[in-house]
Copies of this chain bind each other. A is one copy, B any other.
Amino acid sequence: MGEDRTARTAVRTITDLARLAGVSPGTVSRALAGKSLVNTKTREKIEAIAREHGFRPNQMASGLRRQKTGVIGVVIPLGHDTRQQISDTFFMTLLGFLADELTLEGYDLMLRRVVPKDDADWLDRFIGSGMIDGVIVIGQSDQFDRIEDVADGYGPMVVWGNHAEGQRHCVVGTDNRLGGRLAAERLIAAGAQRLAFLGDTTAIEFAARFAGAEDVVRRMGLPPIIELPTHLSPERASDEIARHLEAVMGRIDGVFAATDTLAALCLTGLRERGVAVPGDIKLIGFDDLPIASHTVPPLSTVKQDIAAGARGLVDLLLRRLAGEQTESLVLPPQLVVRQTA
């Protein structure tokens, strides 16, 4: 008992509520929106009824009328490596922070995972859906050009990824080239001379990290870095790394892994072969994921500030939504020396 004070009339629309309150739908709309064009008494009455019936205005209708949805699209293109990435720790952590930031700003988040290979206009489709006010692209993958194309005609888009001179889309990301330099310098400072790079350089971010490392070895007159292309998904990566190690063992004394995840796998591979780290081979990763501090020995790495990245993405996107033109944001990476290099 006590429950039946909620009238049997279900109040699903603003019009129902208006009827109950004895006012017009317009007034209800204004009252609920908090615009001050409505009498305090009336507003309170309306709010009371709304609360009592658990009424919430339909977001679809509101969105249609106002031509904005309160939803930000977040899309993860799976370019060169279909399986991985949506479960990749780095992207997931970034996504988590994004969710936090967007919620804080009153936006909802619509997540979409796309395979550009099977779906050429993945980006236009998302943008044109009318469901989102803006879009955040997590990772350029191998879709740099397509993103550039879209950037010309569509303002509210920010991309996580690598910044290239003169690019047209607004990007937030770590200075990968600098990160690569830091990594290589650390390996060399720890005593390594003949380096290898573990990772797939068709991903533009990884290419930049590789390039940074190359800068260093070239400057110091060391032999060129051996590229060891590797997929990101743990299942495939394990075997590939094993094969790589088989092939280059003895010819290298330092490994720069494109990712902590790869570094961790590499560490296991080295252990299995009885190779001492950092004794025989120095190893450094990238990202500073939680795993980096829990390998044995703990992984030296180049830290990306993921939280700052998320904040930057959202901040820039909001300003673009407000019509501002924004520059890209390049975050400084930070060397974290632990025990593998």
Chain A residues in the interface with B (C-beta under 8 A): 54-61, 63-64, 69, 71, 74, 86-87, 89, 92-93, 95-97, 99-100, 103, 108-113, 121, 124-125, 128-131, 234, 261, 264-265, 267-268, 271, 290-291, 294-296
Contacts and interface: CB of A to CB of B under 8 A. Distances in A.
Contacts of A60: 60, 63-64, 69, 130-131
Given A56-B130, A96-B92, A268-B294, A112 B121 contact: no
A110 B110 contact: yes
A234 B290 contact: yes
A110 to B, nearest CB: 5
Copies of this chain, complex-wide, total 2
A110 B108 contact: yes
Contacts of A125: 56
A314 to B, nearest CB: 14
B92 A124 contact: no
Given A87-B93, A95-B92, A96-B86, A58 B112 contact: no
Given A86-B99, A95-B92, A294-B268, A131 B108 contact: yes
Nearest to A234: B290
Nearest to A99: B113
Contact of A128 (B54, B74, B93, B290): B54
Contact of A291 (B57, B93, B100, B294): B294
Contacts of A129: 56, 58-59
Contacts of A130: 56-61
B111 A109 contact: yes
A87 B290 CA distance: 11
Nearest to A295: B294
Contacts of A268: 294
15 contacts: A54-B124, A56-B125, A56-B128, A58-B129, A58-B130, A60-B69, A61-B64, A74-B111, A89-B92, A99-B111, A100-B113, A265-B294, A267-B294, A291-B291, A296-B296
Nearest to A73: B108
Contacts of A124: 54, 56
Contact of A131 (B59, B96, B99, B261): B59
Nearest to A100: B113
A204 to B, nearest CB: 22
A160 to B, nearest CB: 16
A93 B83 CA distance: 12
